[in-house]
Amino acid sequence: MAKAIPKFGLRRNRRIRSRKRMRRIPKGVIHVQAGFNNTIVTVTDARGQVVSSSSAGNCGFRGRRKGTPFAAQTTAVTAIGTVVMQRAEVFIKGPGLGRDAALRAILKSGLRLNFVRDVTPLPHNGCRPPKKRRV
């Protein structure tokens, strides 16, 4: 005689919440990471916990188009769209083409910006160069 298998955690019985619901925060921090191949926009609260994030690949861009300014603009609009906040601080990192386009999209969204800061890491002296070539 076979034993009945207990049905403890069935997924279909649970109500699945949408991840992309509107979240309300009074003050947020927007991090823009603009590389040559992709642009990533992350919205965090004042304590640094991630509230919303988006990337160019997440918005449907593939290959070379992920590094374009239009992809960065779409990414910024998507990341900010799921968050309701009044004030924001913006940190921009990286040398990519999407830096200005993402900032322009953030400014058009109607948020009050406290400040915009460039936090691109710069080497003070850098790596040791390769030894001189002898022919």
CATH code (residue 97): 3.30.420.80
The reply to whether 7 falls in a domain is no
The reply to whether 82 falls in a domain is yes
How many other C-beta atoms can be found within 10 angstroms of the C-beta atom of residue 9? 7
The reply to whether 124 falls in a domain is no
What's the pLDDT at 14? 52
Q: Which domain holds residue 96?
A: 25-117
| DSSP strand pairing (112-118 vs 50-55) | unpaired
Token pair recorded at residue 128: 């040791």
The reply to whether 72 falls in a domain is yes
The amino acid occupying position 29 is V
Alpha carbons 29 and 120: distance in angstroms, whole number: 16
The reply to whether 132 falls in a domain is no
Return per-residue pLDDT of the chain as tens, 135 residues: 676 666 555 555 555 555 557 788 889 999 999 999 999 999 999 999 999 999 999 999 999 999 999 999 999 999 999 898 989 999 999 999 999 999 999 999 989 999 999 999 998 998 999 999 998
| Length of the chain, in residues | 135
Alpha carbons 25 and 85: distance in angstroms, whole number: 5
pLDDT tens for residues 73-88? 999 999 999 898 989 9
Domain count, the chain: 1
Percent of all residues in the chain with a pLDDT value above 70, rounded to a whole number: 85
pTM score of the predicted model = 0.78
Return the HEC string of 16-54.
CCCCCCCEECCEEEEEEEECCCCEEEEEEECCCCEEEEE
The reply to whether 97 falls in a domain is yes
The reply to whether 51 falls in a domain is yes
The reply to whether 65 falls in a domain is yes
